[in-house]
């Protein structure tokens, strides 16, 4: 008598999900949306129709994010606050969407020198040239939520930021250096017109 093998009828060879050496690699412009790429390639959907489907299926904030920042290691945090003309009154013309790049672990220590140094140059380097939102804790303990700042360059223990080309075109005047030790969070953002 032969013993039955569990799952023999269900086990079937499956296709590989990654392209082999002979198959062409997918285009880099769609690497961030693998499912749509697989469908488009399998059904040979024309380029114009692909663009229409992407515009319909992918929310505007994600399209704007990819155009502005490209590939970033960030997770989506949803809607944020953007003011119109007053810092406590929400804008009626645009919505802000937030992606978190760095957030320090929750801490209860009040001394600046005892804070864990978790931010690194590897986290800040991909942000060079981009506008970001920074929450920073000064040595005095005061926490500052900064207006959008541009990361000019990232060094070993600190990064240099300025106000970006919106306020001071083609110059880094008015910039300053932030120690990684004081950074509580760094967020990426896009503003989408209503």
pLDDT digits (tens, 9 = 90+) for 1-22: 666 666 555 555 554 444 555 5
Mean pLDDT of 143-149: 89
DSSP state string for 104-173: PPP-----GGGS-----HHHHGGGBTSEEEEEEE-TTS-EEEPPPEEEEEE-SSEEEEE--TTTSTT--T
Mean pLDDT of 99-125: 70
- Please, are residues 95 and 192 in contact by the beta-carbon 8 Å criterion? yes
pLDDT digits (tens, 9 = 90+) for 149-176: 999 999 999 999 998 876 555 554 578 9
């Amino acid at each position: 008598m032969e013993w039955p093998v569990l799952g023999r009828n269900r086990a079937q060879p499956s296709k590989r999900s990654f392209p082999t050496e002979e198959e062409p690699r997918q285009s880099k412009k769609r690497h961030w949306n693998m499912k749509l790429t697989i469908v488009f390639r399998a059904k040979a959907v024309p380029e114009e129709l692909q663009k229409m489907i992407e515009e319909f299926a992918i929310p505007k904030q994600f399209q704007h994010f990819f155009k502005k920042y490209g590939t970033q290691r960030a997770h989506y945090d949803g809607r944020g606050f953007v003011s119109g003309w007053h810092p406590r009154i929400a804008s009626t013309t645009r919505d802000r969407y937030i992606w978190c790049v760095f957030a320090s672990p929750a801490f209860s220590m009040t001394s600046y020198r005892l804070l864990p140094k978790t931010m690194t140059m590897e986290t800040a380097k991909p942000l060079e040239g981009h506008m970001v939102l920074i929450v920073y804790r000064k040595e005095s303990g005061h926490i500052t939520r900064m207006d959008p700042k541009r990361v000019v360059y990232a060094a070993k223990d600190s990064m240099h930021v300025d106000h970006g080309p919106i306020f001071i075109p083609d110059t880094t005047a008015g910039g300053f250096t932030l120690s990684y030790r004081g950074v509580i969070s760094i967020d990426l953002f896009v503003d989408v017109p209503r």
